[in-house]
Amino acid sequence: MSRKVYVAGKLVPAEQATVSVFDHGLLYGDGIFEGIRVYGSRVFLLKEHIDRLYESALAIRLQIPLSPAEMTKAVEETVKANELIDGYVRLVVTRGPGSLGLDIRRTSNPQVIIIADTISMYPPEMYENGMRIITASTIRNHPGALSPKVKSLNYLNNIMAKIEGTDAGTEEALMLNHNGEVAECTADNIFIVKRGVLKTPQPDCGLLEGITRGAVMRLAREADIEVRECVLVRHDIYTADECFLTGTGAEVIAVVSLDGRMIGSGKPGPITRNLLDRFRRLTRGA
């Protein structure tokens, strides 16, 4: 079946889905996006993703040409048109085509693009055995320059850190903020467990507050696990009992080594496994 992409207000075959070369999303990374999972033909936490999309748009003064209700309907129709059972939705809004310059007054017609397709996850054995990560020398963008709450199209900061990870033979890389504190990984949020308490960096450390991150924190509290958002440094990860990442693609995956130093027992811990099981029941009903 030929994939269909929502662009310019309609569904078209993927090979016909185009945007202008003068679009400021292409020229300057001027736009926003959301990555959303589909489980059993159901779009997971769609309202939360739509809310964050419109908040990002407001923050960068981007006028989305659809209402939240219309955007929700467009996402659901794109998933249905592609007969997607389990997969991924990439929802993009660009500033639209304009002149070769930064002035947004010379842009018009913001573009909404919705892609629904399958997703490549980490291999199953990595969920069983955990993953290794390294600390990237590339730090997170300063939160005083652009709020990390904005999920923008410019991911060069994360890409450069990801390159460091792949060069080191790891799937992910830890990013610190300008103060040397733990922020997040290149595409995932990070958690540790210490003496039964679940800890994750607080928002003002420069992280993007992931939708999956929020869902896992709720699941933990429902399981009577204490959750704290606080400042973390690498020492806290090196000495943690457990560590795991959360993300749209990653779901919940254990980290067993940072910078070659074993974390805890060197295997996925009981709280990590518990939360992964709870997350899978939430998303798959299994």
Q: Which residues are catalytic?
A: 151
Q: What is the CA radius of gyration of the chain?
A: 19
Write the CB contacts of 219 (distance below 8 Å, at least 6 apart in sequence): 275, 278, 279, 282
